[in-house]
Amino acid sequence: MTDVTDEAPIRPADELTGWPRTRFRLLGLWIAVAVRMRAPVWMTLPAIRSVGPLLEDRTLVPAMAAIAPQDVRRTLDVRYGRSPAELLDVFRPFDAHGPLPVVVWVHGGGWIGGTKNDLRPYLAVLASHGFAVVGVDYTWAPEAHYPTQVVQASRAVEWVRSHAAALGIDPHRLILAGDSAGAHIAAQLARGLTDAGYAARAGLRLAPVPVPSIRGAVLTSGPFRLGPSKRDATMGAFGDLLLRAYTGHRDYLRVPMLRTASLVDDLDASFPPAFVSAGTTDPMLADSVALARALDGHGVPVEEAFFPADHDPELPHEFAVDLRRPEARDVLERIADFVRRRTAELPGASIDE
């Protein structure tokens, strides 16, 4: 268990000069050509992972750290499994009494990157509303292929539930949550844990959780259509690369299990109540809206946090975890209210009646 440590600063792309800037541009050109030509994943990902940090907003993490509350206990880098990537963080208000509801949050990163560490300030703010919040790491693709990441998230849930007494949480008041690719992992986990038949079709060997214990799902900026429309309409060539990395198949549309992972196309009323959000210019907006509509069509209680198309300013992918934005703070308050109401509900009752 360790505290957050500062890493050596990485200069953002707009501050590069000379050879570093030339190198950055050449890498960008190589990535664009390689992605368009469907080059093998092993040829493309190293360049993407090296350029990615240069494209990030380097002010976000320090700004979020300044926002993070000080009255939240942080237990960091706890091992929940044998893989080096199987680590989790636990956030809990210092002054909380009694077993708390728990939100298990899976980070994004296109399945090929990302880390729970960048979400620590955000998850601490969420925990300050009176919950235990767990941030989960998993093995990136293509180092591990689907459905490994979903199974790892299940393993994290199993660890949290088995350590409920020590963590001061209520294992029967569980919310599954995630952002971007993590939202897809969390949603598929929710689908598999509440429908054993679906889990079998999807090839998901999950640690069992009593269905009434899963009180809801919080899903922000997630991809939920992984069928033919994904490559051609929603994510384009880059989405094609991500799915090749995630599945380990060049022609991933022929992989039967991927069809079950296209959650919009494989839902029923067993899915837990959901909170769904995406930004106005988010490439995942159409997927998020489609999921919300599909859930509603199956009679699943769903709450939406979408904004008018002409909203000013534009709200990009993952805007909700940037609490410098008033819209993100509003969404977080709505998430906290959703968690509070859903976890206050008695198993078998309905707060919608």
Per-residue pLDDT of the chain (353 residues; tens, 9 = 90+): 333 333 334 455 555 455 455 554 655 665 676 677 787 887 788 777 776 665 567 778 788 888 888 899 999 999 999 999 999 999 999 988 889 999 999 999 999 999 999 999 999 999 999 999 999 999 999 999 999 999 999 999 999 999 999 999 999 999 999 999 999 999 999 999 999 999 999 999 999 999 999 999 999 999 999 865 454 444 578 888 899 999 999 888 888 888 899 999 999 999 999 999 999 999 999 999 999 999 999 999 999 999 999 999 999 999 999 999 999 999 999 999 999 999 995 654 444 43
Q: Answer yes or no: do 99 and 236 share one domain.
A: yes
| Domain tally, the chain | 2
Nearest CA to 109 among 53, 54, 182, 35? Answer: 182
Can you give the pLDDT at residue 208? 92
Give the pLDDT confidence score for residue 52 in this predicted structure: 61
1 part of a folded domain: no
Residue 48 tokens, joined: 């993407």
CB within 8 A of 352, min separation 6: which ones? Answer: 301
296 with 318, same domain: the answer is: yes
Are the C-beta atoms of residues 245 and 112 closer than 8 Å to each other?
Answer: yes
93 shares a domain with 47: no
Largest alpha-carbon pair distance within the chain?
64
Residue 214, in any domain of the structure: yes
Show the domain range for 18: 12-56
Neighbours of 342 (CB within 10 A): 24
Do residue 78 and residue 201 come from a single domain?
yes
Q: Are residues 66 and 146 in the same domain?
A: yes
Give the model's pLDDT for residue 94: 93
- According to the model, what pLDDT value does residue 6 have? 36
* Residue 2 domain-assigned (yes or no): no
Conformation bin of residue 51: beta by default, left when phi > 0, alpha when psi is -120 to 50: alpha
User: Is residue 114 located within the same domain as residue 210?
Assistant: yes
Note the pLDDT of residue 349.
Answer: 42
The confidence score (pLDDT) of residue 233 equals 43
Q: Mark whether 126 and 35 lie in a shared domain.
A: no
Q: What is the structure's pLDDT at 43?
A: 78
DSSP class of residue 287 equals H
**pTM summary value:** 0.90
* One domain, residues 88 and 29: no
Q: What pLDDT, on the 0 to 100 scale, is given for residue 306?
A: 98
Look at residue 350 and tell me if it is in a domain. Answer: no
SS3 state at 7? coil
Residue 4 lies in a domain: no
Q: Which is nearest to 342 in space by CA: 353, 351, 331? A: 351
Active site residues: 180
- Do 236 and 284 contact (CB within 8 A), yes or no? no
Cβ partners under 8 Å of residue 145, min gap 6: 246, 247, 248
**Beta-bridge mates of residue 305:** 277
Give the contacts of 158 (CB within 8 A, at least 6 positions apart): 207, 209
The reported pLDDT for the residue numbered 8 is 39
91 and 142 in a common domain: yes
* Residue 124, token pair as written in the block: 């601490």
